[in-house]
Amino acid sequence: MTDWNAMSDEEFRAEIRSFLQQNYPDHLRYPSRRVRWHEVREWYLMQAERGWTAPGWPAEYGGVGLSPSKQLIFIEEQERYGVARAPDQGVVMVGPLLIRYGTEEQKKHYLPKILSWENIWVQGYSEPNSGSDLASLRTEAVDAGDHWVVNGQKTWTTLAQDGTHIFLLARTDPKAERKQQGISFLLVDLNTPGITIRPIRNIAGHEEFCEVFFDNVKVPKNDLVGEPNQGWTMAKALLGFERLFLGSPKQSQNALGRLDAFATARGLHDDPAFADQFARLELDVADLAEAYEAFADRVRAGEALGADVSWLKVWATETFDRIAALSVQAAGAEGGISGGLAAGDESVDLLSLYFGALPTTIYGGSNEIQRNILAKQVLRLPE
């Protein structure tokens, strides 16, 4: 078996890059929407056969056991090549959570099925009127002896229609003194009676998100992760990693590349006003890349990310948003046309950038909430 960690970072990067170039389907590069599982299934099953489903998991649990440095390279190279993201909540969230907090029974039952893609996990966090202020959630799980009875609703659940399981936060102690207390972390089979999934069609015409309803859903007691009423601690740990992922500069770099190609073909760089706006965005993206590297260096060193990672999420999503807005503006009367616009020998889809940018400042915790976190936990400002 190859010892990937023994390679230099340069050698490992070249290995991943070569594998992608030789095997990844060209028609799935840089998709303009979140792809469905049936579209990327064959690609990710190929990776599973190679043992690459969970590069960051310890080898003893079926992962590759990559160092933090190598794991970041793995993610960065997939982003650079425009690899469509899998429904990977099981890999990036459920698996690491179970490895750290799960029972041996939970690990033995769930981890192999995540690695083989037999189980496709979705995230059950946000609710109506309880999105960014997640601790105010109202979905409840009542102790009924040998099982929990779950009632409530989750929303903005990404690709729930493709999922087999959902991990969710539910209130198990409504009398807890603080709203962050009394919340538990549950694993639920989506085929359980009482669960209804309704896709939500977005402005671009895609059904990326769903509503999920729970009506007296029975969840076995052994599908509680960790201790009862201690789910908030685990949820925060998962969100820290998510905000680093959302803070990657690749999305903005790719969007800026699309805008540059369009602007070059249309002669827009000769317009001083456009050139000034574009130069500002170039500097913003360069600053973002430097900031991301600083946080990534912490991960490479094995350090935990603090509350200040919220700043990275804000900067990345708002930079992407500004690029997308200028792209539609630069297209003029064609800015509202869906699909590719002629740009020399290329076809550049700018409207999908705009549609893709709209929700980024909301998901992963809205940027308003991220600023509150920074104000309270980093700057120590009074409420």
Q: Catalytic residue positions?
A: 242
Both structure tokens of 182 = 């009394």
Quote the CA–CA distance of 9 and 12 in Å, as a whole number: 5
* Strands 121-124 vs 165-171: parallel, antiparallel or unpaired: parallel
User: Could you tell me the CA-to-CA distances from 301 to 2, 75, 291, 297 in Å, in that order?
Assistant: 23, 17, 16, 6
Written as one string, the DSSP assignment of 228-280 is TTBHHHHHHHHHHHHHHHHT-SHHHHHHHHHHHHHHHHHTGGGSHHHHHHHHH
Both structure tokens of 382 = 């009074």
Longest dimension (CA), the chain: 72
Nearest to 40 by CA among 82, 3, 84: 84
Around Cβ 128, how many Cβ atoms within 10 Å? 12
Length of the chain, in residues = 383
Task: Evaluate whether 337 touches 351 at the Cβ level (below 8 Å).
Answer: yes
What is the 3-state composition of the chain as percent helix, strand, coil, each rounded to the nearest 5?
Answer: 50, 15, 30
Q: What angle do CA 255, 258, 261 make, to 5 degrees?
A: 150
Nearest to 163 by CA among 131, 124, 128, 125: 124
User: Could you tell me the CA-to-CA distances from 205 to 100, 202, 255, 333, 350 in Å, in that order?
Assistant: 39, 5, 21, 21, 16
